[in-house]
Amino acid sequence: MNLFLKLIIFIAIDIYIFRNFGKLFGFLGLGIIIYRFLYSLGFLRTPKIYRGAFNEGVAYLKDYKGKYFNPNAFKEGLDLIKKYDLKDFVLIGIYYDRPGNIPETEYKSSIGIYRKNIGFPDPVPKEFEEFCEKNNYYFAELPSTSSIYSDWEYSNHFIMMMGILKFYKNIKLGLQDDSFRKMYKISEKSKVCIELYVTESSMKFFIPTVNEDKFMLYRKEDEDKPKSQ
């Protein structure tokens, strides 16, 4: 149910409480409604950080350079999943640079689709592989690895972006703290981050604490180099 529709329903219920059970219960109900609404919007919560593991899987990725916010790249990934009926695939973004360390125009990322390795999955359609070959997508095998893990639920784009900003702010502060780095066994120089958009209303964050080099998949610069004669 839409968040604002829920709000309208709860306010209507609270008005009923005001009229039939008195101001005390009415104001109590109003306070609960405001708290739940602000919590749902993300103002009163923050992505919690855990030790976790990224699951081994396969991905079809395309490299990008520039601003990390790239809605067209994610839309293309969604279109691929729908068009070729790629069951069990979800959107993935892999980011290679810490914001603020280099100019925004130099940020590197790989965005596409990912499927966790489970059982014996159906092969992808040949038409999809042909599309990838013609449109700069490449296949990558991603290993299982220990990682920092977090997740975030959202009901719209604004709340999604709020969670992303809060997560990276927490990580930036954590990497500057000795006790945080020891607790999560992560290097101060760590920079690779993986985002998985597992449903239309939830996402997961992973920062590899081992095998970071196996996630350094960006190859656009190599492709752009002039080929030797």
Give the tens place of pLDDT for each residue, 71-128: 999 999 999 999 999 989 999 999 999 887 889 999 999 999 999 998 777 889 999 9
E strands, the chain, in order: 50-54, 57-65, 90-95, 108-116, 138-142, 145-153, 193-199, 202-208
What secondary structure letter does DSSP report for 212? G
The CA distance from 141 to 147, in Å, is 17
**Does the pLDDT at position 168 exceed 70?**
yes
Q: Pull the structure tokens for residue 131.
A: 């599309």
pTM of the model: 0.85
As its CATH architecture, domain 50-223 has Alpha-Beta Barrel (3.20)
**Does the pLDDT at position 180 exceed 80?**
yes
The per-residue pLDDT for range 22-34, each reduced to its tens digit, is 888 888 888 888 8
Q: What's the pLDDT at 226? A: 44
The two beta strands, 108-116 and 193-199, are unpaired
Core vs surface per residue 120-139: b (16+ CB within 10 A) or e: eeeebeeebeeebeeeebbe
**Does the pLDDT at position 228 exceed 60?**
no
Residue 163 CB coordination number (10 Å): 21
* 112 burial type by CB count under 10 A (0-12 exposed, 13-18 middle, 19+ buried): buried
CA-based R_g, the chain, Å: 22
CB of 114 closer than 8 Å to CB of 90 = yes
The CA distance from 194 to 12, in Å, is 42
pLDDT, mean of residues 11-40: 81
pLDDT, mean of residues 129-143: 96
CB of 145 closer than 8 Å to CB of 57 = no
Residue the block writes with tokens 């067209």:
72
By three-state DSSP, how is residue 120 classified?
coil
